[in-house]
Amino acid sequence: MTRLFLVRHAESTWNSTGRYQGRIDTELSDMGERQAGLVAQRFSAMPLAAIYSSPLRRAFHTALAIALAQGQDVKVEPDLIEIDHGAWSGLLKDEVEKRYGPMLQLWLESPSQVKMPGGESLEDVRLRSDAALKRLLEAHPQDTLLLCTHDAVLKVLLADALGMSLDGFWKVRMDNASVSLMEFGSTAPRLLLLNDTCHLGKLRTEVSEQAL
């Protein structure tokens, strides 16, 4: 059995302004740096066989805080990178609404049907993130791992592992620096913990203001 901790990166500078990031490589905000320290403290006494991260700095620096507390390195997994927002990247939420109103509405109602101009669909994310998950489970059949990645990737991984439709994307909330836990073994995957932020205390980010 493999135990897999899933961590969403701490708050980035663009999370706090409601701007679509996608593949744009933003930094952690001041709040995010503090959140990364708190999630690292949560895992400081928990043995982890390996720590994997998206290549983007907001995820890598969150993972690095956890790794340093453990005396470990971070292994970069390119297929854990955030969804490519394409033409939406760098735009504020109201700018996307003005330029791509009908597509944005479809994204909020039936997200599996949307492929952002010049970007990815949720199915694209599913194919690459599932491939990454398969590689990691094969490499660590009896280990406890930690993956630090992004909102869309985490929601798609959870939906697929639990047999949910990708149109259930918005039914799952992923806060910055949140922790979820799944088990993978001979039976169907099991979800043991979802979007836990108890380690953050008052340093929680309001995700409703973010461009996701």
61 is catalytic: no
Catalytic-role residue among 85, 140, 150, 199: 150
Asked if residue 119 lies in contact with residue 91, where contact means CB atoms within 8 angstroms, the answer is no
Look at strands 190-196 and 179-184 and give their pairing.
antiparallel
Residue ranges of the alpha helices (H) in 20-121? 30-43, 57-70, 93-99, 101-109
**Active-site annotation holder among 9, 61, 140, 199:** 9
- Taking the C-alpha atoms of residue 176 and residue 150, their distance in angstroms, rounded to an integer, is 9
Segment 190-197 long-range contacts (CB within 8 Å, at least 24 positions apart): 191/158, 191/161, 191/162, 194/158
Measuring CA to CA, which residue among 39, 20, 31 is closest to residue 180? 39
Closest to 36 in 3D by CA, of 205, 211, 209: 205
Catalytic annotation on 85? no
Alpha carbon 147 to chain centroid, angstroms = 9
- Catalytic site positions: 9, 150
